[in-house]
Amino acid sequence: MYKEEICRVPSPYREDMVVQGYRFGKGNAAACILGAIRGNEIQQMYICSQLIRELKELEAHGWINVNKRILVIPVVNGLGLNVDERFFGVEDIDINRTFPGKADGDTTDRIAYQVFDRIREYTYGIQLTSFYMTGEFVPHVRMMETGYQNVSLADLFGLPYVVVRKPSPIDTKTLNYNWQNDTTAAFSLYTNKSDGIDEASAGQAVAAVLRFLTRMGIIRYESHSGYISHVIKEEDLMDVHVEKGGIFKGMAKLGEYVRYGYPIAEILDPYEGYIKEAIIAPTSGIVFFAHTEALISQGDIAYRMIHRLHQ
């Protein structure tokens, strides 16, 4: 293992923020795994730390294949992690909305530019990331429909689902979109936690990444075959909104199959405790995303469901 400096952000008031990379193997730039771009992505940082531990052992045994190089970057937004802020700096900017960055731009532009300049050469790019909504997902791989996506490769992670989405204008500044446009086969990997650690889904993510690296001939690693992934389009997911705000009492579990017309949540009045709204399943299907905060606002998404995957 070789530890290298990817990017440095000078600070007049505290230590410089240094983005560190951990390099394994030699030769062609085969795969890059990148963790916490946002300051609350604790799970993503943790998964990278476990991958580094596994890759150190594999390298020590000579199980990283010849002429294959792997780079793991556990944290990009170290400042956000230190001060418990999701976005970067006093401007509160999302670094994952500033790619490919600018060499002479503001601080977040320069961070994105320096990071992207170091990782753009890799054949495969895996980003461990989180969603803009607060809640939990069934573990899955997500790809943008840029014309360069390869769903067959995404299947090789062996996770339950592969989600393909059409990019919106705001997505053109994300790492995944720019990686794909730069001909890297890019994948975003989601687990069911961000600002905490869930050992079960973290272990599933580590196994998925190692499984993919094995199937692409980058490492030698004995792994279970995983799932035969079900491919779904983002627009086919059904959003279940709430009409009233209050205390959220979820009744449907992540990954659970629910039937049309069954109760899946209640919204309680925060002062008097009565049921303001009963949320009824609008379709039969699987709970793909679930709101997890104690409170929910009017119009928010309580669940996202896979419509009638099986009956």
3-state secondary structure labels for all residues of 256-291: CEECCCCEEEEEECCCCCCEEEEEECCCCEEEEEEC
Helix (H) or strand (E) holding 211: helix 199-215
Q: What tokens does 195 get?
A: 């600002």
Distance CA 263, CA 91 (A): 42
| pLDDT at res. 311 | 45
Q: 162 - beta bridge partners?
A: 141, 231
The residue count for the chain: 311
Judge: domain 2-228, CATH 3.40.50.960: no
- Are residues 111 and 76 in contact, defined by beta-carbon separation less than 8 angstroms? yes
Which runs of consecutive H residues, i.e. helices, occur in 21-77?
Answer: 42-60
pLDDT at 149: 86
For the structural domain made of 236-307, what CATH number should be given?
Answer: 2.40.50.100
Q: What is the pLDDT of residue 171?
A: 92
Q: Whole-model pTM? A: 0.93
Characterize the bridge pairing of strands 237-241 and 301-307. antiparallel
Burial of 75 (0-12, 13-18, 19+ CB in 10 A): buried
**Which residue ranges make up each domain of the chain?**
2-228, 236-307
Per-residue pLDDT of the chain (311 residues; tens, 9 = 90+): 999 999 998 877 778 899 999 999 999 999 999 999 999 999 999 999 999 999 999 999 999 999 999 999 999 999 899 888 999 987 899 999 999 999 999 999 999 999 999 999 999 999 999 987 788 999 999 999 988 888 999 999 999 999 999 999 989 999 999 999 999 999 999 998 888 999 999 999 999 999 999 999 999 988 788 898 999 999 889 999 999 999 999 999 999 999 999 999 999 999 999 999 999 999 999 999 999 999 999 999 999 999 865 44
Transcribe 125-194 into DSSP letters. EEEE---SSSSEE-SEEEEE-SS---HHHHGGG--SEEEEEPPPGGGGGSHHHHHHHTT-EEEEEE-S-S
